[in-house]
Amino acid sequence: MLCGTRIIDRAWTVLAALLLLLACGRTPDLRPVGEGTDRTAPVFPDYRDVTVPCNIAPLNFYYTDPEASRFVTTFTSAGTTVKVRGRDVVWKKKAWARILSTGADVEVLSEYKTPSGPMSFRWTVHVSADAIDPYLTYRLIEPGFEVWDDLEIIERNLDSFDAKPISDWRNTKNKCMNCHIHAQGRGDLSMFYLRGEGGGAILNRGGTLRKLTLRDSSMISPTVYGEIHPKGRFGVFSTNIIIPAMHSYGNRRMEVFDTASDLCVADFDGNRMMTFPDFARLDTFETFPVFSADGQYVFYCTAPAKSLPAEIEHIGYSLVRIPFDAETGTLVNQVDTIWSATERGLSVCHPKASPDGRWLLFTVADYGTFPINHRECDLRMLDLRTGEVLTLEEVNADKSDTYHSWASDSKWFVFASKRGDGMFGKPWFSHVSEDGTVTKPFLLPQRDPHFYDSMTRSFNVPDLGNASVGFDAAEIGRVWREVPAEVFD
């Protein structure tokens, strides 16, 4: 969710994009496959043996073997059969609806010819009766060392391939914008930031848009990370002095860290900011606050302050919990450590509580709080009833897995992963059962199965919503131009 000034020229990003397009634009079937590439499976996206919701858009894919030909794919579900010929498997809308309507798993037979002879294999698409929230928002941003340019926040309908920008650079004169978050998956309660002149926090509450200046004279910065209380009156936030820096050695890229960070609460009804001396200490960093499902607690990440960037590799954030008074908006200095960085030798960030109060998803890395550039970054899930931490081996890959959010019914979550090419974050979805079993994640389906071969922007902070937010980029442009930012004090 970082936004700021440009760090280096765009040449590196543009060159990488051109090389990718040349490699896989018009002839993606000639792209190298196998171990050590981002096309390790015989089909891409790899939908083999995934679990999908009963309302998901068609799973279009293609076969990756450049030497194979004469492809035939047969789908069977509860007596219904659909056969597709060709390297690209692109569903017709009615056929996909018919195969999903059976409510049963889909058995797939893939057959094709290779120079060494015929090839066939069977696989399954498991169909869950649990529907997923139909809307996903995400920020599209170029990777590399440039922090922002030509940004847009997209709302995608997961039932289909329909998508629209709900904020974009065209309507805001290329202003920086931070990622859009829903409160517990609610389409009628959400927020994102427009930065710079004329900007503010854009709060969507019950279909009414407000532009807010979430800062008072006692705060070290405007609000940065945070979440809206389930009842909508309050928001909990961190204020951060964020510094980007390049690694001076090794194969690492950019590091981002805080040199100071505190907690605060915004009262959206009273137009006031509340700060707390107990959470504004110079010897402690606090960041990434979120509410518990019932709104009675705040989870956040904290670490002893260190000299940065000199000690960046030695800073580990722990996950803690404090009580929250939902009547007054007060944070209570009664800290309960949930996950200790000292005990585990790792660092935690981005906690997210499931709306049913059962689970807490978070990210772990070797150090720090900016996991997008940490290949080792993985997801963990805490059972809030038992205290057990699940490692989610079925979900995590060999590259950054982070920026997650829950569906409103707590049965699905989405996260951004750089698995595969290691450069572009993409949205992946996994189902969670009552006992905490998670399924092999599946990649966001696209109308064109080669979409990701030529996509040169990352899907940043994917967030699920149970309804459309009800506004678009043109409306946000009007708010940016015409609506004064409300002052908070």
Tell me what pLDDT residue 51 has. 98
| Rounded CA separation 215/150 (Å) | 26
Residue ranges per structural domain of the chain: 34-128, 135-487
DSSP string of 173-234?
A: TS--BPPPEEETTEEEEEEEEE-STT-EEEEEETTEEEEEE---TTSSSSEEEEEE-TTSSE
The string over 432-452, giving b where at least 16 C-beta atoms fall within 10 Å of a residue's C-beta and e elsewhere, is beeeeebbbbbbbbbeebbeb
Question: For the chain, what percentages of helix, strand and coil (3-state, to nearest 5) are there?
Answer: 10, 45, 45
pLDDT at 253: 65
Element housing 239 (H / E): strand 234-246
Q: Which structure tokens are listed for 368?
A: 């720090």
C-alpha 293/C-alpha 304 separation (Å) is: 27
- The answer to whether 369 and 414 are in contact (CB under 8 A) is no
Determine the Cα–Cα distance for residues 464 and 444; give it in Å rounded to an integer.
12
What pLDDT is recorded for position 307?
Answer: 83
Strands 135-141 and 152-157: antiparallel
Distance CA 290, CA 382 (A): 15
The helix/strand/coil state of 409 is coil
DSSP state of 67: T
Q: Which of 3.40.50.720, 1.10.3470.10, 2.60.40.10, 3.10.105.10 would CATH assign to domain 34-128? A: 2.60.40.10
For 64, counting Cβ atoms within 10 Å of its Cβ (0-12 exposed, 13-18 middle, 19+ buried), the class is buried
Note the Cα 254 to chain centre separation in Å: 20
CB 355 within 8 A of CB 293: yes
**Distances 85 to 52, 62, 99, 113 between C-alpha atoms, Å:** 23, 11, 17, 12
Q: 135-487, what's its fold?
A: Neuraminidase (2.120.10)
Q: What is the CB neighbour count within 10 angstroms for residue 307?
A: 10
| Mean pLDDT for back-to-back runs of 10 residues, the chain (489 residues) | 42 43 41 52 95 97 96 96 97 94 95 95 97 97 68 96 96 90 96 92 95 94 95 96 66 74 97 94 94 98 88 90 97 95 92 97 90 82 96 91 95 94 89 96 97 91 96 96 94
